[in-house]
Structure 1
Amino acid sequence: MSRQQQNQATIVRDLLRVVQDLGRQQAQAGPASANTNNTNSIVEQFRRYKPPTFNGITGPLAVEEWIRGLERIFKQLSCTDAQKVLCAEFMLVDASGHWWESVSRTRTEAQQRNLTWARFKEEVMGKYFPQALRDRKEIEFLQLKQGKMTLVDYERKFEQLSRYAVHLVNTEQKKARRFELRLRPKIGGIIESHEFTTYIQVLQRAQAIANRLELDQTTQENTEFLGKRKWNGTNEGKGNGQNKRASFERRLESNKSNSVLTPCPKCNKAHRGECLYGNNVCYRCGKQGHIATNCQEPPPKRDNDQSKKGPARVFALTQQEATEN
């Protein structure tokens, strides 16, 4: 058994003991035992619902939730204000329990018997959830907008804060209009073209619009992603490949045109430049008086194009051909 369950069991036992002592005192005083039996029955029923406790150190919003939890139980029971107060008093534990005992000692027995449930709530709320803090919560509700929140988070926040400004949402139409005005413009602008009279209608319509906008956004992002991938991948690579291939083919054709020589119609030999056949000159240096095999001149220097393209072909005649020439 956990510590919280042990505390609740102890509280319930103390509560039953007090009720029984009260019943014995009333029986000795002479009143009818019907009221005592009824109180015992209420306490037993109250105990079955496992009511929450409040220790006074869990924050201002916790006391409000604690009271709301007790009131949900009281709705299921047929009990008087005095019985509600009696049950709630034993759910105040630790710091809050000590505080309530101190406050109770300042009352007379008549004031304690006549204490209503509404007055009990006012005293507890005044202690642990003062009016100044409730006013700040009301201002927070007045300034509430959806902004970047999801519709689910905005709806939850709206419901949480609206109870601090009940006068602004005390009808279905006022609540629906307030919720609509604070929606994100993309959603609220579409809803304004429709007439809704209930809060649930506005909420359902807003949810449908939000789902549609989210779907459109997802579709657009996927389209942009695929477009970028196609441009950066397939087409761009393909274009570069085509350009490289065309450049290679042009260089290949150029090399072919430079390396393939047609036979000279004068000497029937394949060579470059002017044909010297029949001019009685050296085919190496272009001077008269000797032939290429006996030429003492250094070989001509190659230009840059020839050095890049490789060694040039030299056309030389045999000794017999030179003598005949």
Structure 2
Amino acid sequence: MADARNINNDNDDNNDAVRQEAFENRVTEVAEGVMQANLPRLAQEVESRVLGVVDAMMTSRFEELKELIEGSKSRSKERRCTYKDFMACHPTTYDGKIDPIECQRWISNIEAVFIRSRCDKEDQVMFATGLLTHQAKDWWDAHSKEVGEDRLQAMTWQEFKGPFMRYHCPQSAIDKIQEDFLRLRQKNESVNEIANNFMDKMKFCGELVTTERMKISRFYGVLKAEVREFITPSKCETLEELIDLARDREIEIKRQEERGEKRPSEKGASFSPSKKGKFQDPGRKGKSKGGITPCKTCGKLHTGECLLGKKGCFKCGKEGHSSYQCPDNPKTCFNCFEKGHIKSECPKLQQGSKKEDKKQEGSRAKGRMYQITSEEAKSQPNVVSGVKEESSNTSKAEGAQDRGKAPL
């Protein structure tokens, strides 16, 4: 009985070992399956964690490098712009002349020096006011006392520029510039000189020339007639294009003068300058009797397009006949410029001549004298004799008294 029990116990131990081994094998198989199924996910998690650690390390290194760069910049900025550095950029002085154009130029020059010298904002007013002389220096001394020392130390450039511009650029001076801008005309100046003058004044005339087309039209009216002759302002898109065309035209005029050539307007002039000056009305300079100005191309009086240099008739534009043989050419009076009659048949001239004849007749009637003898006077009942003799005797007596002698 004891042996049987031992055998049964051994069998139970073997069965437990087998089951335990089977269980372990099953667990191993399940674990391997789970690991194989989750291996990509685990690899991705490991990779993300590694990348996170690397990113954190790079970020810390980048911040350290950024701090080093900023530290170097701050150390380079420790040296401020000195007055010597400011003056090394050659800023201009200002004497306080009441001229908006000169004042604006000085402001622009100083602001450009601020940029070049890297002047600190707290030093701009102090450095700039050191360039004021004469009346400008007197104004700044008086203004500094009004402002006060505390406010003066904290004054910015914009706070300085406001009262400075109001004093040195009064509205009356700006109005004068605008008036000169409207009356500006080229005389003996070159195109470059008149263009610079135009641009300087235009800075204060923004309300008069609000568009580029208005600028072109205004500058075209400033140019001399000989410069405008072959320039079409409508073809220019910018003011710079018009100025370039005017420069080219000025160069061509100088070349013509050097070669001794005459411009078409000078060739077509058939009247004498001396005679024109003799009979010209000063109040209507450059205009004819009919209000027509001479053509800039040929110098003659006509309306419409100038046909100088074109073939054919100047009146109708057709070829085969000249202008004085044109069948479509009505008679035009050169006195009143009305069609239908010529100058010799002009009714205005005829009326004027009649009035002059009447005036001449009236003056002749007033100054007419008749001479008759004494015998004819006696025979005429309407003639009073003795008046001439009395007047002659009176004149003789007066003459004798003047000479201290008694009349005979």
TM class, shorter-length? 0.3 to 0.5
Normalised by the length of structure 1, the TM-score is 0.48
**Higher RCO, Cα 8 Å, sep 6+:** 1
Normalised by the length of structure 2, the TM-score is 0.39
